[in-house]
Amino acid sequence: MKKFVNQALRRLSLKQLRAFTAIVEAGTITAAAAENGVTPPAIHHQLRQLEETLAIPLLERANGTAMPTEAGREILAVTQRIETLLADCVDSIAGLNGMKHGRVAIGVISTAKYFAPRALAAFKRAHPQIDLRLLVGNRAETVAALERFEIDLAIMGRPPEHFDVTEAPIGEHPHVIIAAPGHPLAGRAAIPPAALLDQTFLLREPGSGSRALLGRLFAEAGLDPAGGMEFGSNETIKQAVMAGMGIALLSAHTIAAEWADRRLAILNVLGTPILRQWFVVRRREKRLLPAGRALWDHLVARGGTFLPRIDLPGAS
């Protein structure tokens, strides 16, 4: 085994890895060759060398499209890490040479898009030479990007637990239960969670932070609410709540504008607002270069100043 590993390491090349990645991304050898300005035989030669070196198939065909095998998926993940490390190395060397530039890839969960752009805009004004790449997605997408080293850091409300991360708090992240302004419970004080059992809840996808918090609120009260309606975005949920389709538990930072305009009501439910934290997060083994470190420090020091301000019923 050791001999095989040593021989494979000597024969593997970045050119082979990039050719394999190009085939997977393009779907065919011909398309990969066209996108990279080489001939199909050249791409095929690199693939054949890679598979011969590893002694295992890396691709299989499904409906005419090249799909990675289990071994192929391992190669893709490793190639992504290599490309990230190479880019970091180039940035670091550029810094040593006195070149005033840098790049940072940051992931932002969709709930944080109500304040993160202002925080990033302030950073960009202070550091115009740094290029920012922004990825906005739900929690699962952002965590996956962080795990695959596709982003340097992320803004989220609940750091991942299945791999090691370094996290720092940005500020408080309150969650509230909202309803249409004309809802029968709007304006009532100290509403017990039991009064919500017959309500239709509008929910985010399983695994979302707000859905987990709602389940915890009822569990702590010893209650088991009925099912609800699932939606793919906070914006859709807000529109549905305003239309009277049901009630929802959402981040208060996502409804600040609607609350200020009295297009939504915040129900004064006992146990709410549920206070959590916003965090900036990175993989523990991720070495931040100067640009990434500057953004990390900016978010830790000033990120909380960009959070929406909202007076919440029930808050102390």
* Domain 2-78: assigned CATH number: 1.10.10.10
- Of 199, 173, 175, 174, which is closest to residue 186 (Cα–Cα)? 199
Indicate where the chain has its CATH 1.10.10.10 domain(s). 2-78
pLDDT, tens digit (0-9, with 9 covering 90-100), for 151-176: 999 999 889 988 999 999 999 999 99
At 278, the amino acid letter reads W
Enumerate the β-bridge partners of residue 249: 177
What is the value of pTM for the model shown?
A: 0.65
Superfamily holding 82-171+278-306: Periplasmic binding protein-like II (3.40.190.10)
Q: Which residues of the chain are in CATH 3.40.190.10 domains? A: 82-171+278-306, 172-276
172-276 maps to CATH 3.40.190.10: yes
Enter the tokens of residue 153. Answer: 């850091």
Report whether 20 contacts 46 (CB < 8 A).
yes
Name the band, by pLDDT with cuts 50, 70 and 90, for residue 95. low
Residue 308 has pLDDT above 90, yes or no: no
Residues 225-277 have pLDDT tens digits of 666 788 888 899 999 999 999 999 898 998 988 988 899 999 999 888 888 89
Q: How far, in Å, are 2, 139, 205, 239, 271 from residue 232 at the CA level? A: 49, 12, 6, 12, 26
In the chain, the amino acid numbered 149 is: F
pLDDT digits over 51-63, tens only?
888 888 888 888 8
